[in-house]
Amino acid sequence: MSEDFIKHITKRSSDFSRWYTDVIKKAELADYSPMKGMMVIRPYGYEIWELIQRNLDKMFKATGHKNAYFPLFIPESFLKKEAEHVEGFAPEVAWISEGGSEKLEERLAVRPTSEAIICSMYSKWITSWRDLPVLINQWANVVRWEKVTRPFLRTTEFLWQEGHTVHATAEEAQIETIKILNIYKTFVEEYLAIPIISGLKSENEKFAGAERTYAIEALMPDGKALQAGTSHNLGQNFSKAFNIRFENKNQKLEFGWQTSWGVSTRLIGALIMVHGDDSGLILPPKIAPIQTVIVPISRGNWKETVLPEAVKIKDELEKNGIRTFLDDRDTYTPGWKFSEWEMRGVPVRIEIGPKDMEKNQVVIVNRINRKKHFVKSDSIIDNLKELLNEIQTELFNKAKSFRDSNTRSCITLDELTEIISTDKGFVKTGWCGDAKCEAEVKERVSATIRVITEKDDSRLNKCVVCGKPAESTVIFAKSY
Amino acid sequence: MSEDFIKHITKRSSDFSRWYTDVIKKAELADYSPMKGMMVIRPYGYEIWELIQRNLDKMFKATGHKNAYFPLFIPESFLKKEAEHVEGFAPEVAWISEGGSEKLEERLAVRPTSEAIICSMYSKWITSWRDLPVLINQWANVVRWEKVTRPFLRTTEFLWQEGHTVHATAEEAQIETIKILNIYKTFVEEYLAIPIISGLKSENEKFAGAERTYAIEALMPDGKALQAGTSHNLGQNFSKAFNIRFENKNQKLEFGWQTSWGVSTRLIGALIMVHGDDSGLILPPKIAPIQTVIVPISRGNWKETVLPEAVKIKDELEKNGIRTFLDDRDTYTPGWKFSEWEMRGVPVRIEIGPKDMEKNQVVIVNRINRKKHFVKSDSIIDNLKELLNEIQTELFNKAKSFRDSNTRSCITLDELTEIISTDKGFVKTGWCGDAKCEAEVKERVSATIRVITEKDDSRLNKCVVCGKPAESTVIFAKSY
C-alpha cells in the first residue's frame, strides 16, 4: 500500500548541495524550525550526536577532564573585558534586554562561547598552584547570529563541547592544546572515518582572543574544506583580562596559562557529506545509530515462520553489542524497506526469507557496494563483525584517497588560481608569513589558509604570492 | 601546612537554610555566578547530574523514548497560541529583542519549557496513525526569570529533561502520563533514596495548559514539601492550538492526545537536603560520584609502602565497578582528608596504614554513623558491596521514617493550622474539591495541596474547610 512513500532524493552526483539538504530531511536527521537559521535535531540525527558525545567524553575523561555547567547568559561588560574577543563575537550575539516584564539594566549576551563567564569564575576559584591544572569541559548549546545558515554546518544555535583549562606554565598549556588537537584528529579519523589534516591557523584565521589556534580540517567531496574542530592556546590573554592569578611554588603571584577547544554538531554535517552516495547516507559503523537492519521477507505466513527467526537473530546481535533494528512493519514491502534503510545509511542489511530458512542461512548486504553474502545462521555474528570493520576501514580509505588525489602542490599564484577555480581541493604552497599575501589570495580566489603544515617539499621554498623566502608551508582551500 | 583549609560549615541542626548553601559551596557542588539567580554547576555537582541523566535516560529508552533537540528560542506568537500556557509562563520569560546588531521584528522567548516549539514541529511531522505514538525526550537548559532563587531549587536557568509525546487515543496518553510518573517515583526512591508521594495536582496547581498534572512530592527535613517531578496529561489542548492532526484507521482526521513531563537539577537540591548531617553531605551510593575514597595513612616512608597497596586496592575496586578516588595528596593530613570527604558526602572511606598492612587488613568507615570495620584484604570487595547496599537502604529508611512520622491526619481547619504552624510536614485531610477552600488554607497558613491522594481513612470524609462531603483526600504542606 505504501510504495508511494518511497522518498525521492536529488542525486549526489547531479547537485551536491541539494542532495545534502534532501538527505538531512528525508533521512530525518534534522528539520527546519520556524526560526530562521535554527534547526531541530530529530531522533535519528540526535542518536549520532549521542554516540559522538559518549565516545569523545570518554577520551576527555581518560585524560583527566571533568564536565561542568556554566550560565547561558553573559553580561555585556564581561564580554568586553578581552578586547579582541568582543570584537570577534559582538556582531554575532543575540541579546537579552528584558527578563519577566522588566527592562534589564545591562544587556545579557546569549553565550556565543563561554570564555568570558568561565574565566570570571576561574578568577574566584584559583588562588594557588595547588588548584592547577583546572581541566573542565562543558557540553552545551551556543548561539551565533548567522546571516547564511545550513543545517549542521552553520546554524544560529548549535550544540557543542567547549573545554577550558588553566595551567601553571606556558609549556603545560601548549602541551594541552596539542593533546586535545590529537584527540580530535584520532576521534574524527577512527570514529567518523574522515581523514584529517591538522595544524596551526594563520593570525588572520585564529580565534578572537587566542594566542595560537590549531584546527583539524577535512576535505569535502565538492572540494571545499571544512573546519571540524579547533584547539586554542590562549596564553595569558584572558587570565590578564579576568585576573586569574595563582601563587606559584615560590610564593609569587602569576597569571594562569589557558587553553580552550571545541567541536560541534557540525561534525554530523561532515559525516553526511564525506560518505554519502546517490542513494543517500552512508554511516560509518562506529557512529551509526543502527549498525544492522534486519528485513524479514514478508511472504505467506511470514509472521509465524520468518519473524520469530528474525527476532532470534536480533536478540543474538544485540547480545553481541551490535546496534540492531528489526523492521517488522507490515505496512511496507521489503523492497521499500531496502531503499529506506539504504537512504538512511545503515551500513549492513540482513535479509531473511522462507527460502533462506530452508537453507539455514541469511543474506547480508553491504551498504557501500550492495554486495550480497550468503551466511550460515551459526556464523552471522563473526561475519557481521568482520564486515562492519571492513566497512569502517573502506569508508576511511575511500575518503583518504579522494583527499590525497585532491591535494595539489603549486609554486605560482597563477597555478594556485587555476587549481582553486577548476578542481578546488587542498592546495599546498609556500607562504612568506605576511598577511597581505594571504589577503591577496583570498581576494583573488576566495581561498584561505586552512592550516600551516609541515615543510616537507623543498620546491615550496618561496611565497606563492610575493616570491620572498617561504616562512612556512600552508594549505589553501575554499571553505565552508 | 594546610590544616587552616578545613572547611567550616554551619551546623544543619542549628540553621538548616545556611547549612544548605554552605554545603553546596564548600563541597563544590555549585557556585553563584555574576548573574543574579544563575548558578554554576561545578564538576562534583555535575557528576551527580550525569549519574541522574545516565540512569533516567536508560529508563526512558527502555520504554521506547528517543532523544531529540529543539531550538532554544520560541517566537512570541507561538507561545501565545495556547491561552493558559502563555498566561502561566509569560511573566517568567527572558526575551531576545536583538540579534547581531539588528532589532528583531518579533521578540523571541528563551524557552521556559518547549511545548510551543515542539508542538509546531509535531504538526508538520504527524499525518497518519502510523506516525503515532511519538515518544520524544529532550535534555536541555531552560530559563525562567525568578525573583527569589536558591541554588538547585529555584534558579533562573536550570537543566532538565522534558518529554513530549503524542498518542492516538486519550487512554494511551493517560497510560503514558502514569507510566512516566511511576518511572520518576521508582528512580527517585531507588537511586536518590528519597521516599515519594505521588498523585494528581489540584486545578489550581496544575501546569499551564495541561488537562491534568501529576507530581512526585518529597518531604524535606525542615517540614516543607518539594515538588520533584511532574507528568502532565495535556489532552488535546495543545494539539488543537497547534493543529496536530492525524488520519486515524478509519480515515478520519483527529487531534492527537499529548503528554509532557520533566525533572530537573532540582533533584540535586532534594538529595542534599534529605540526607545530609551536621558534617555535610551524605550521598546515596547509587548516585555518588565517588562511592569510596581511599585515604592512605601518611607516616614515614608511606609512599613506598602504603601507597602501592592503596593503588592496588583502588584498581581492584574500579575493576569491580566501584567509583573510587585515591586521595594521595601529600599537602594534606589524613585527618584533614577524613573531614573533607565526610563533608563531601562520600558514603564509604577506606583507611590503610603501616599497621593495617602488617595485619593484612584495611579499615572501612561508614559515613552515616562513622562505624569502623576491620576487613581482611582479600574480602574488601564483598564487604564494600554489602556496605554500599546497606547505606543505600538505610538512607531511604531514615528518610521514610522521618516522612512517615511527619505525615499527620486532621479533620478541622484549626488542627491543620496548628500543625502547619508548628511541626509542618505533610497534612492529610478531606477536601470538597472547591478552589475556594483550597485558597482559604493558602491564605491562612501558606500551605497548598501537594497532591490528591488515595482515600484510605474514612474519618477524612468531610472538607477540612467547609465541612461539606469530601470529594477527595489531599496532602497539604508548605512547599519550596
- CB distance B143–A72 less than 8 Å? yes
- Looking at the predicted structure, is the pLDDT value of residue A5 above 80? no
Q: What is the pLDDT of residues A322-331, one digit of tens each?
A: 999 999 998 8
Give pLDDT, residue B5: 43
To the nearest whole Å, the CA of A289 is away from the closest chain B CA by: 12
The CA distance from A386 to A161, in Å, is 33
DSSP string, B66-104: EE-B--SEEEHHHHTSSHHHHHHHGGG-EEEEEETTEEE
Helices (H) and strands (E) in chain B, counts: 14, 23
Residues of A in contact with B157 (CB under 8 A): 71-73
Which residues in A lie closer than 8 A to residue B75 (C-beta atoms)? 34-35
* Cβ contacts of A75 on chain B, cutoff 8 Å: 34-35
Q: How far is CA A129 from CA A370, B327, B333, B394, in A?
A: 59, 18, 18, 40
Task: Give pTM, 2 decimals.
Answer: 0.96
The cell for B134 is 511519538
Alpha-carbon distance B50 to nearest alpha carbon in chain A (angstroms): 9
B465 to chain A, closest Cα gap in Å: 35
Tell me whether residue B239 is exposed, middle or buried, using C-beta atoms within 10 angstroms of its C-beta: 0 to 12, 13 to 18, 19 or more: buried
Backbone angles phi, psi at B329, to 5 degrees: -65, 140
Query: Residue B453: its pLDDT value, please?
Result: 94
> Based on the number of CB atoms within 10 Å of its own CB, is B130 exposed (0-12), middle (13-18) or buried (19 or more)?
middle
Nearest to A43 among B73, B95, B136 (CB): B136
And the C-alpha cell for A24? 538531512
CA distance linking residue B240 with residue B263, whole number of Å: 26
The C-alpha cell that represents B426 in the structure block = 505533610
Whole-number Å distance between alpha carbons of A275 and A216: 18
In chain B, which residue's Cα lies nearest the Cα of A96?
B96
Q: Do A92 and B72 touch (CB under 8 A)?
A: no
Cβ <8 Å between A143 and B72: yes
CA distance B76 to B86: 9
Cis (ω within 30 of 0) for the bond into A195?
A: no
Peptide bond into A133 cis (omega under 30): yes
* pLDDT at residue A247 is higher than 90: yes
Residue closest to A33 by CA, chosen among B467, B68, B14: B68
CA A478 centroid distance within chain? 18
DSSP letter, residue A127: -
Strand, helix or coil for residue A289: coil
Is residue A3 over pLDDT 60?
Answer: no
Section A104-122 average pLDDT: 96
- The residue of chain A with its CA nearest to that of B66 is A43
Q: How far apart are CA B426 and CA B447, in angstroms?
A: 10
In one-letter notation, the amino acid at residue B98 is E
Nearest to B38 among A73, A110, A157 (CB): A73
CA distance B66 to chain A (A): 6
| Contacts B47 to A, Cβ<8 Å | 66-67
C-alpha cell of B248? 486515524
Q: DSSP states of B46-60 as a string? A: HHHHHHHHHHHHHHH
Nearest CA in chain B to A129: B331
Of A33, A47, A159, the CB nearest to B121: A33
C-alpha cell read off for B151: 541554588
Chain A environment of B159 (Cβ under 8 Å): 69
**A159: nearest CA in chain B?**
B69
Per-residue pLDDT of chain B (480 residues; tens, 9 = 90+): 344 444 578 999 899 999 999 999 999 999 999 988 999 999 999 999 999 999 999 999 999 999 999 999 999 999 999 888 888 888 899 999 999 888 999 999 999 999 999 999 999 999 999 999 999 999 999 999 998 999 999 999 999 999 999 999 999 999 999 999 999 999 999 999 999 999 999 999 999 999 999 999 999 999 999 999 999 999 999 999 999 999 999 999 999 999 999 999 999 999 999 999 999 999 999 999 999 999 999 888 999 999 999 999 999 999 999 999 999 998 899 999 999 999 999 999 999 999 999 999 999 999 999 999 999 999 999 999 999 999 999 999 999 999 999 999 999 999 999 999 998 999 999 999 999 999 999 999 999 999 999 899 999 999 999 999 999 999 999 999
Burial of B211 (0-12, 13-18, 19+ CB in 10 A): buried
Partners of residue B156 in chain A, C-beta under 8 Å: 99
Contact between chains at B157 and A71 (C-beta distance less than 8 A): yes
* A258-315: pLDDT as tens digits: 999 999 999 999 999 999 999 999 999 999 999 999 999 988 899 999 999 999 999 9
Give A106→chain B minimum CA distance, Å. Answer: 10
CA distance A442 to A447: 5
CA B72, CA B117: separation in Å to the nearest integer? Answer: 9
Between CA B61 and CA B52 the distance in angstroms is: 14
Closest CA to A217 of A232, A198, A192: A198
Strand arrangement of the beta sheet that strand A94-99 belongs to: A73-75, A102-110, A94-99, B94-99, B102-110, B73-75
Listed residue (A262, A289, A300, A205) closest to A27, CA to CA: A289
Compare all CA atoms of chain A with the CA of B42 and give the residue at the minimum distance.
A68
| pLDDT tens-digit map of A419-450 | 999 989 999 999 999 999 999 999 999 999 99
Contacts of A242 in chain B (CB under 8 A): none
Per the DSSP assignment, residues forming a β-bridge with A207 are none
pLDDT computed for residue A7 by the predictor:
58
Distance from CA of A73 to the nearest CA of B (A): 8
Place of cell 549526489: A12
* Interface test mutation site (partner B, options A65, A96, A127, max chain B beta carbons within 10 A): A96
What integer pLDDT is reported at residue A59 of this predicted model? 98
From the list A38, A49, A99, which residue is nearest B145 (CB)? A99
B152 and B269 Cβ atoms separated by less than 8 Å: yes
Q: Do B40 and A99 touch (CB under 8 A)?
A: no
Please give the distance of CA A256 from its chain centroid, rounded to a whole number.
30
CB contact (8 A) between residue B66 and residue A47: yes
Residue of B nearest to A29 (CA): B68
Q: Three-state SS for A254?
A: strand
Question: Hey, are the CB atoms on A49 and B69 less than 8 Å from each other?
Answer: yes
The candidate with the shortest Cα–Cα distance to B245, out of B125, B70, B116, is: B125
List of chain A residues whose C-beta atoms are within 8 Å of the C-beta of residue B130: 331
- What is the pLDDT at residue B324? 98
**Measured between CA atoms, how close is A349 to chain B, in angstroms?**
22
- The separation between the first and the last C-alpha atoms of chain A, rounded to the nearest angstrom, is 42
Provide the shortest C-alpha distance from residue A36 to chain B (in Å): 11
Question: Over 90: is that where the pLDDT of A370 sits?
Answer: yes
Residue of A nearest to B26 (CA): A125
| Those residues with Cβ within 8 angstroms of residue B120's Cβ, 6 or more apart along the chain or in another chain | A33, A34, B78, B242
The DSSP 8-state label assigned to residue A479 in this structure reads B
The residue among B52, B45, B19 whose CA lies nearest residue B31 is: B45
Partners of B125 on chain A (C-beta within 8 Å) are 31
End-to-end Cα distance, chain B: 42
C-alpha cell belonging to residue B435: 478552589
Quick check: B157 and A72 CB within 8 A? Answer: yes
What are the C-alpha distances in Å from A34 to residues A152, A216, A435, B112?
A: 16, 33, 41, 17
- Only one residue has cell 559525516, namely A271
d(CA B49, CA A68) in angstroms, rounded, equals 10
Alpha carbon distance A53, A47 (integer Å): 10
Using CB atoms, pick whichever of B41, B99, B110 lies closest to residue A145: B99
Q: Do residue A71 and residue B95 have CB atoms under 8 angstroms apart?
A: no
Give the domains, in start order, of chain B with CATH numbers: 10-275 (3.30.930.10), 290-389 (3.40.50.800), 407-477 (3.30.110.30)
> Residue B7's pLDDT is what?
58
Q: Are B200 and B217 in contact (CB under 8 A)?
A: no
Min Cα–Cα distance to chain A from B328, Å: 13
What is the tens place of the pLDDT at every residue in B34-71?
988 999 999 999 999 999 999 999 999 999 999 999 99
HEC profile of A366-401:
ECCCCCEEEEEHHHHHHHHHHHHHHHHHHHHHHHHH
Please tell me the distance in Å from B413's CA to the nearest CA on chain A.
36
Say how far apart CA A386 and CA A384 lie, in whole Å: 5
Residue of B28, B95, B157 to mutate, testing the A interface (most A Cβ within 10 Å of its Cβ):
B95
State residue B4's pLDDT score.
Answer: 41
Of residues A2 and A423, more confidently modeled: A423
* Alpha-carbon gap, residue A409 to A404, rounded angstroms: 11
**Is the pLDDT score of A395 beyond 90?**
yes
Give the count of beta carbons closer than 10 Å to the beta carbon of residue A88.
17
Q: How far is B40 from chain A (nearest CA, A)?
A: 5
Alpha carbons B244 and B238: distance in angstroms, whole number: 8
Count of A–B CB contacts within 8 Å?
Answer: 149
Contact check, Cβ <8 Å, B91/A100: yes
Sign of the Cα torsion A81, A85, A88, A94 reads negative
Measure A406 CA to nearest chain B CA, in Å.
36
Identify the pLDDT of residue B36: 85
Write the single-letter amino acid at B205: E
Closest A-chain CA to B78:
A34
- Residue in chain A nearest B54 by alpha carbon: A54
DSSP string, B309-333: HHHHHHHHHHHTT--EEE---SSS-
- The reply to whether residue B108 touches residue A67, judged by beta carbons under 8 angstroms, is no
Task: Judge residue A298's burial from the number of C-beta atoms within 10 Å of its C-beta, 0-12 exposed, 13-18 middle, 19 or more buried.
Answer: middle
Q: Which three cell numbers stand for residue B263?
A: 525533572
| Interface contact B121-A31, CB threshold 8 A | yes
Residue keyed to cell 504542606: B477
B170-182 burial code (b ≥16 CB/10 A, e <16): eebbbebbeebbe
CB contact under 8 A, B46 and A68: yes
Residues of B in contact with A67 (CB under 8 A): 43, 46-47, 50
> Shortest Cα distance from A293 to chain B (angstroms)?
18
- Nearest by CB to A33, from B33, B42, B71: name it: B71
A42 contacts B75? CB cut-off 8 A? no
Of A247 and A82, the one with more pLDDT: A247
